[in-house]
Amino acid sequence: MGLHNPAIRINWDEDPRLTSQMLHLIASNEEYRARIFGNAGDRWKAERDVCIEMLKDHPWIRDKADKGLVTKAGGRWKPTAAWTSGIVHPVRNRLNTLTRRMQSGHYQEKFSLDPAWRSEREVPKNIQLQRSSTLNKS
């Protein structure tokens, strides 16, 4: 593993809103949902596109431009052919972490999250209230 440049590091735990932003971006886009959480194929391309969208204003994306993974055209970042399925990036890492934690029961134990819930409407009101009060403290 190479050295990490702290200037371009994405610290998901330091700013929990980043995870929420990522999940909302995926939830609001049918194609992202199908490719990341379904069986529509090319999951890595959806992860890449979410990464570019989320980090478009972050020093991380400029570092990737310097490395030839993205280019800016018409004011928008676009992946180059150099960005292949083997490229590791913050969104892929975060999705893998969230999936691993969900499968291990981490969220069930820590937050009483039931893996059978498929929407926020299924979450009991008392758990929603606890979540809201926790978020308001940050």
- Report residue 126's pLDDT band, with 50, 70 and 90 as the boundaries: confident
What's the whole-model pTM score? 0.82
Q: Say what the pLDDT of residue 128 is.
A: 58
Q: Provide the CB-side half-sphere exposure for 56 (13 A, CA).
A: 13
Q: Say what the pLDDT of residue 89 is.
A: 96
On average, the pLDDT of the chain sits at 88
Q: Which two tokens stand for residue 30?
A: 């049918």
Q: Is 97 helix (H, G, I), strand (E, B) or coil?
A: helix
What is the percent of the chain where pLDDT is above 70? 89
- Report residue 125's pLDDT band, with 50, 70 and 90 as the boundaries: confident
Instruction: Taking each helix axis as running N to C, give the angle between helix 30-37 and helix 43-54, from 0 to 180 degrees, rounded to the nearest 10.
Output: 130
Q: What is the DSSP letter of 71?
A: E
